[in-house]
Amino acid sequence: MLTTLLPIDEGQALVAGYDVRTKPGEVRKRVGYVGQLGGADDLATGREDLLLQAQLHGMSLASAAERAAELADVLDLTAFIDRKVKTYSGGQRRRLDVALGIMHRPEVLFLDEPTTGLDPQNRANLWDQLRKLRDMGTTIFLTTHYLEEADALSDELAIMDHGVIVTRGTPRELKNEIAGDAVIIEPKDDGMALETIQDCLKSLSIVRDARREGETIRVYVDDGARSLPKIFTLLEAQGVSIESISLSRPSLDDVFLRETGRSLRDTDTAGKGA
């Protein structure tokens, strides 16, 4: 809807200062869009795709060629820009998709889960390219299911659950709302129900909250280092054997868990990202 590809049912939205319902043409001039599937022609070269995109936006051939060379440098496309797109790796294709989305120098760039399916190296590379675009003045509207990605890239983020924004702010602000540490406990499968172990942990005065998360229990305490011995003592007294235990500072996954009652890492359902 924000990119004018779908009509708005109700309400109002302004993008780059223009109403998407009444001024869709003005919005389209000012936005770029990179969908999950991309839009490159596999049988064309990367450069040919870029030149076509530029011409569709009314750029002259000379300006298009100059802009393509510029983006090849910015997004590290030079080594393969004259190869056919069908020969590209996943990371190379995604960088070309981003280049296509900003060929006409949009004020706002919409990215729909741009790193889905990429290996860690290619994901980190694309993160670097997106930071460069942000530093050059492009406003980036990013949807993602990777909370570490939202944490690393966002100046401001919103967490949605079933289409409703449940919280918003900077990553630091949201994580600071969860004071203390998280202790993640994975008990051995010795017959004791996780719910029983969870209730035992909640009985400790040092525990502010304990929530089941898949086959683990996440325990929130004020001081993780000081609390661990007491947690061990309680579990040992209850006959609970531990497969693993770890200590971490609050993360965006903790924020998501608090706001929605479940961890994003344990769900494949779309529409619950940041």
CB atoms within 10 A of CB 49: 25
Residue 14 pLDDT exceeds 90? yes
Task: For the domain covering 14-143, report its CATH number.
Answer: 3.40.50.300
Specify the higher pLDDT residue, 180 or 26.
26
More confident: 16 or 270: 16
CB 183 within 8 A of CB 231: yes
Condensed to tens digits (0 to 9), the pLDDT of residues 122-167 reads 788 888 888 988 888 889 999 998 888 999 899 999 999 888 999 9
Q: What average pLDDT does this structure show over 200-226?
A: 88
**Whether residue 192 has pLDDT greater than 50:** yes
pLDDT per residue as tens digits for the range 34-61: 988 888 999 999 999 999 999 999 999 9
What value, to the nearest 5°, has the Cα angle with vertex 4 and ends 136 and 85?
60
Q: Where in the chain is the domain with CATH 3.30.70.980?
A: 179-249
Query: How far is 113 from 273, CA to CA, in rounded Å?
Result: 9
Report residue 264 CA to chain centroid gap: 11
Highest mean pLDDT: which of 108-112, 254-258, 265-269? 108-112
pTM metric for this prediction? 0.71
Domain with CATH 3.40.50.300 in the chain: 14-143
Cα torsion through 234, 235, 239, 241, rounded to 10: -160
CA dist 55 and 35 (Å) reads 20
Angle (CA) 139 144 146, round 5°: 125
pLDDT band at 269 (very low <50, low <70, confident <90, very high): very low
Name the CATH architecture for the domain at 179-249. 2-Layer Sandwich (3.30)
Helix (H) or strand (E) segment spanning residue 174: helix 171-176
- Write the burial class of residue 180 (CB in 10 Å: 0-12 exposed, 13-18 middle, 19+ buried): middle
Q: Is the pLDDT of residue 257 over 90?
A: no
CA angle 14, 16, 17 (to 5 degrees): 55
End-to-end Cα, the chain, rounded Å: 17
Mean pLDDT, the chain, integer? 88
Band (pLDDT 50/70/90 cuts) for residue 225 is confident
Please give the average per-residue pLDDT across 168-191, as a whole number: 84
CB 97 within 8 A of CB 40: yes
Which pLDDT tens digit goes with each residue over 76-96?
899 999 999 999 998 899 889
Q: What is the pLDDT of residue 271?
A: 43
